[in-house]
């Protein structure tokens, strides 16, 4: 195992999408503490999903802690995770989920600002 792998901090964001939560009119927002990072920007190293009858989980692994904000929007109903200063350029294709709660996860990387969704 390399030094980078041993020193990597994996941030897992588990998003449980339950129908009652999706039906709520309240906006879901969570802000992480600011992260001061010296050196290379944070990079996503794995992006995957898993599901069962009641929930869909999105696992995001990064090589450093992530500063993020979560928003729930309607019309169409969707959950957005804004990740500041996070390089997700390696994930540009939609990830099909095909679950009654979630159709797909669509990663978006903004090269100019080095932000991801």
Distance in Å from the first CA to the final CA of the chain: 30
Confidence label for 73 from pLDDT (cuts 50, 70 and 90): very high
Map residue 98 onto helix, strand or coil.
coil
Please state, in angstroms and rounded to a whole number, the distance separating the CA atoms of residues 73 and 84. Answer: 19
Sort 60 into a burial class: Cβ within 10 Å, 0-12 / 13-18 / 19+: buried
The pLDDT tens digits for 76-115 are 889 999 999 999 999 999 999 999 989 999 999 999 999 9
Element of type H or E holding 113: none
pLDDT surpassing 60 at residue 30: no
> Domain-by-domain residue ranges, the chain?
3-116
What average pLDDT is seen over the chain?
75
pLDDT surpassing 60 at residue 8: no
Does the predicted model carry a pTM greater than 0.75? no
**Sign for the pseudo-dihedral over CA of 83, 72, 76, 93:** positive
Residues contacting residue 49 through CB under 8 Å, at least 6 positions apart:
56, 57, 58, 59, 95, 97, 102, 105
Confidence label for 40 from pLDDT (cuts 50, 70 and 90): confident
Token code pair at residue 80? 């957005």
């Amino acid at each position: 195992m390399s030094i980078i792998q041993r020193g990597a901090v994996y941030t897992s964001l588990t998003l449980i999408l339950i129908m009652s939560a999706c039906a709520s009119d309240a906006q879901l927002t969570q802000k992480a503490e600011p992260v001061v990072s010296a050196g290379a920007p944070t990079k996503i190293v794995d992006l995957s999903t898993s599901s069962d009858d009641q929930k869909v989980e999105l696992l995001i692994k990064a090589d450093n802690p992530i500063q993020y904000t979560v928003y729930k929007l309607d019309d169409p109903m969707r959950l957005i995770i804004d990740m500041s200063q996070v390089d997700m350029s390696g994930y540009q294709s939609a990830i099909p989920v095909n679950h009654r709660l979630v159709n797909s996860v669509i990663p978006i990387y903004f090269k100019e600002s080095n932000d991801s969704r």
